[in-house]
Amino acid sequence: MDLSVDLAPGHPRGLRMRSPLVWASGTFGSDGYGAGLPSTVRLHGLGAVVVKTTTLRPRGGNPTPRIVHGHGWMLNSIGLENPGIDAVLERYAPQWATWPIPVILSIAGERAEEFALLARRAEGVKGISALELNLSCPNVEGGLAFAQSAEATALVTRLVKSATSLPVIVKLSPQVGDIVPIARSAQHAGADALALTNTLVGLAIDLKARRPFLGGGTGGVSGPALKPVALAMVFQVYGAVDIPIIGIGGVASGEDALEYLMAGATAVGVATSALVDPTAPQRILGELRRALRRYRFPSARDAVGTAHPRKRGTPAPPKP
Ligand SMILES: Cc1cc2nc3c(=O)[nH]c(=O)nc-3n(C[C@H](O)[C@H](O)[C@H](O)COP(=O)(O)O)c2cc1C
């Protein structure tokens, strides 16, 4: 079974991955950079790891508690805690260069120019295969603003593209009226791929304390409850752009991952499932391989977009 995909076929370097299964930003170890992962966690065979969103200066993050969960959902308000770009590149990049799979550095700036500054810092650093622009974090002031405007999305994308030689993935928010014009503007500004989606704004109430449960007030909804929302956005955007999409939201099984591929995603990101169990990405990858076989897809690439009208005209696969 050929699981390999290229997330940046239009880029001179490409972003070739052994499989479509990507560890999405924020849950790779307790700090988002791999801290405390048990030795049973294997990266071999996964497509890539997107490390924690990194900012220009260190950030302490939001007040605790930062995570709460219920049936089928998780709410987090981490607030982009990270040690800042200089410390991240010095501490972690030398290890990334030795890993068996590509590492994608997620970056976020307070202003458009700051994204370009971050991209410039990462330029030429060994161990980074691509940049992901987090235009869509709901847990910091103004974090969502970029992804809620087609113009701001295009501006940041353009600035970063002119500051880096790496492939650029633009991560969008589901917290918008119509995702399509925003996705189109990212493509027109030069994005090599899109990541859909980040979390939705949500709230949980602490009944006893009579206040929001999370220290930061609202948080970002992730997990199974997000899946139908993000899947619909992948489907809509696949019909409107021709750059690869990473589908993210509520992936907990190989069949979830296959749904994303069939909706139009080239790769699939896993965050919450990996937070609950860091061996989940490998389990889901094994299940995806079996699901592709079961539904008669000769390769992962062959599944992409098969549930989308854009693909009509290509012969339907034989029934399992
Ligand atoms: C604890 C936690 C921290 C996260 N941190 C980041 C982050 O730093 N940058 C980012 O782009 N997304 C972050 N995310 C969002 C995930 O990458 C993902 O887009 C979202 O959670 C939906 O996927 P899921 O349902 O598999 O969790 C975080 C999610 C969680 C649960």
CATH number where 251 lies: 3.20.20.70
Please tell me the predicted confidence (pLDDT) of residue 283. Answer: 98
Q: How far is the CA of 251 from the centre of ligand 1 (A)?
A: 12
Please tell me the predicted confidence (pLDDT) of residue 248. Answer: 98
223 lines ligand 1 (CB under 6 A): yes
Whether 157 contacts 168, CB under 8 Å: yes
Mean pLDDT of 181-188: 98
Q: How far is the CA of 197 from the centre of ligand 1 (A)?
A: 9
Q: How far is the CA of 272 from the centre of ligand 1 (A)?
A: 7
Whether 199 contacts 76, CB under 8 Å: yes
Residue 276 lies in a domain: yes
Number of domains in the chain: 1
SS3 189: coil
Is the pLDDT at 150 greater than 60? The verdict is yes
Q: Which residue is it, tokens 């065979």?
A: 45
Mean pLDDT of 246-270: 98
Q: What is the DSSP string of 225-294?
A: GGHHHHHHHHHHHHTT--S-EEEES---SHHHHHHHHHHT-SEEEESHHHHH-TTHHHHHHHHHHHHHHH
271 lines ligand 1 (CB under 6 A): yes
Q: How many CB atoms lie within 10 A of CB 169?
A: 29
| Residue 143 pLDDT level (bands cut at 50, 70, 90) | confident
Residue 87 lies in a domain: yes
Return the percentage of the chain with pLDDT > 70, whole number.
97
**Structural domain containing residue 27:** 5-62+79-200+222-311
Is the whole model's pTM more than 0.85, yes or no?
yes
Which bin fits 223, alpha (ψ -120 to 50), beta or left (φ > 0)?
left
- Is 3 marked active-site? no
250 lines ligand 1 (CB under 6 A): yes
Residue 205 lies in a domain: no
Q: Is the peptide bond before 218 cis (omega within 30 degrees of 0)?
A: no
Of 107-111, 135-139, 194-198, 293-297, the range with the lowest mean pLDDT is 135-139
CA dihedral sign, ordered 140, 146, 149, 150: negative
Residue 215 lies in a domain: no
Mean pLDDT of 246-257: 98
| pLDDT tens for each residue of 189-210 | 999 999 999 999 999 999 999 9
Is the pLDDT at 319 greater than 70? The verdict is no
Hey, what amino acid is at 53?
A: T
DSSP 8-class letter at 312: B
Residue 213 lies in a domain: no
Q: How many CB atoms lie within 10 A of CB 181?
A: 14
Residue 194 lies in a domain: yes
Q: How far apart are CA 257 and CA 260, in angstroms?
A: 5
Residue 210 lies in a domain: no
Residue 141 lies in a domain: yes
Average confidence score pLDDT of the chain: 95
Is the pLDDT at 166 greater than 90? The verdict is yes
Is the pLDDT at 320 greater than 70? The verdict is no
Write the residue with the smallest CA distance to atom 29 of ligand 1: 26
